[in-house]
Amino acid sequence: MPDKELLKIRNIYKSFGLNQVLKGISLELNEGDVLALIGGNGAGKSTLMKIIMGIYTHDSGEIYIRGEKLTSSKTSEALARGIYMVPQEPLLFPNMTVEENIIIGFDKKASELHHELVQTMQDVGWKMDLTRKASSLSIAEQQIVEILRGLMRHSQVLILDEPTSALTFDEVESLFKVVHDLSSKGIGIIYITHRLAEVFEIATKVAIMRDGIIPVRGDVKEFTRDMLVKGLLPPDAGTVEETAVQTHQKAAGIDYSRPPVFELKDYSGYGFSNINLKVYPGEILGLAGVVGAGRTELATTVFGRDKVLGGKAVLDGRDITGLKTKDVIEAGLNYVPEDRHLNGLFKISDVAANTTSALLPEKQMGHFILNRKKEAEISRKYVDDFRTKVTGLDQQTGSLSGGNQQKIVIARALATNPRLLILDEPTRGIDAAARGDVYAIIHNLRQQGVSILLISSDMEEIVELSDRVMTVCQGRINGEFKGGEINQDNLMSAAFGITKKEKEAKA
């Protein structure tokens, strides 16, 4: 295979405000390469891809396509130079047919394009009804349409962003075949994924991304799964012994003979199934897993946001299965959402209104007239307790830093005095200092006897905080770790779908 260079990226830097997302990224992609790009959430993979596509402008660094420097940051230029990205959620026109979706934006005649499209499909050996409406396609089919769009543009570089995250097993197989075909035709593919198994199945090269840098990259042949897992962990991750001791001490105070505060029995819903777990009084149960593993869906379903398909959720002996959000909160469970901006914050409302928003049904906030004194009192208490930096209770939360916003959202949940608090990615997108504060808040809560279900894809966080950990992978619980077993290595392996048994077998 000719070793011709398609894409070269040199020293890309990118910040959003004060938050530096990419810190000097360099990468190459040759003809026929399938480069697997792996990394945790927030590592900067999507940002990098959006820069390559010209959707974002990079602060510094260069991008070369076939040795030519990319001068402007425009999507149209990237498209013209033969780069095409298949986004994680395909962006098709739902009301158009497959054919219309593919040939939109071309200058040629429709009949010519049709001919070309049929030819392209023959070349890669795909069959698809071109007159179907895009809204009737499965995700896999939508992705194929997106790939066809790329091929019709004679793209030399295809970027696939977590293409298998919503595919069934058979669909994954057919997609892999497509990827193989394309790479054998000399097309370079950047394949972003969360699933380590896939790396060995289809990739020729691998690059690990973490905190805006690529610390490790090379031929897949040079790597083992364990090496990839190691690469995903931060270099200063504590050794197994240290964390084990720490965890052991933490869990010591919990009486596992007492009845659990919260229990899920064979709980199933959209995105997860047959979940069994118990949270004991004063315990922090870590629920580790990558984004898309079904953790958030599990939490939001418990919280009354989606339909329960089976099983039971029991809080303090009371069945809360399928209750409305308001009643779930009243029963003593509250949830700090994963997406702070979408589901957590009222950005153009002030600190006080945010803090007390979940308290409104309660009598202490007044019967009809809002009790402003009480509102201020409660808000003030949480601002002081959490050391939230605000200019006043009347400051709009949209103007706060991410960490302070997160404290407000946690305060909102805590204001309802929950018996169980579900924290979903509590430290995503906030700086180190604020992270420390949030950890302190969580430790304090635990001492006050509040039970916590901590959902996170940050294994370091899980190890530091949890008394006990369960891992979720593809909608199911696939591991439970106690005491000394809780270390980043074990958790990362399980979260990426490598079971213990398998690891031993490989070793």
Q: Which is nearer to another protein, 53 or 214 (CB)?
A: 53
CB of 451 to another protein, least distance (A): 20
CB of 476 to another protein, least distance (A): 5
Q: Which is nearer to another protein, 131 or 257 (CB)?
A: 131
3-class DSSP string for 397-447: HHHCCHHHHHHHHHHHHHCCCCCEEEEECCCCCCCHHHHHHHHHHHHHHHH
Vertex 84 angle, CA 80 and 87, to 5°: 145
Q: Which is nearer to another protein, 132 or 278 (CB)?
A: 132
CB of 159 to another protein, least distance (A): 12
CB of 343 to another protein, least distance (A): 5
Cβ atoms of 317 and 495 closer than 8 Å? no
Question: Cα 331 to the chain's mean position, in Å?
Answer: 29
CB of 149 to another protein, least distance (A): 7
Annotate 285-298 with DSSP letters as a single string: EEEE--TTSSHHHH
Cβ atoms of 313 and 264 closer than 8 Å? yes
In angstroms, the CA 156 to CA 244 distance is 48
CB of 430 to another protein, least distance (A): 18
Q: Which is nearer to another protein, 186 or 366 (CB)?
A: 366
CB of 65 to another protein, least distance (A): 16
In angstroms, the CA 499 to CA 507 distance is 12
In angstroms, the CA 54 to CA 68 distance is 15
Residue 359: DSSP 8-state: G
CB of 474 to another protein, least distance (A): 3
CB of 299 to another protein, least distance (A): 11
In angstroms, the CA 332 to CA 246 distance is 30
Q: Which is nearer to another protein, 273 or 451 (CB)?
A: 273
In angstroms, the CA 190 to CA 394 distance is 47
In angstroms, the CA 219 to CA 413 distance is 47
Q: Which is nearer to another protein, 181 or 350 (CB)?
A: 350
Exposed/middle/buried for residue 432 (C-beta within 10 Å: 0-12, 13-18, 19+): exposed
In angstroms, the CA 482 to CA 277 distance is 14
Residues across the chain: 507
- Torsion of Cα atoms, 345 then 351 then 357 then 358, to 10°: 80
Q: Which is nearer to another protein, 219 or 394 (CB)?
A: 394
CB of 76 to another protein, least distance (A): 4
Q: Which is nearer to another protein, 164 or 247 (CB)?
A: 164
Give the other-Cβ count within 10 Å of 204's Cβ. 17
User: Which residue, among 236, 283, 317, 237, has the nearest Cα to 452 in the 3D structure?
Assistant: 283
Q: Which is nearer to another protein, 360 or 440 (CB)?
A: 360
Q: Which is nearer to another protein, 37 or 329 (CB)?
A: 329
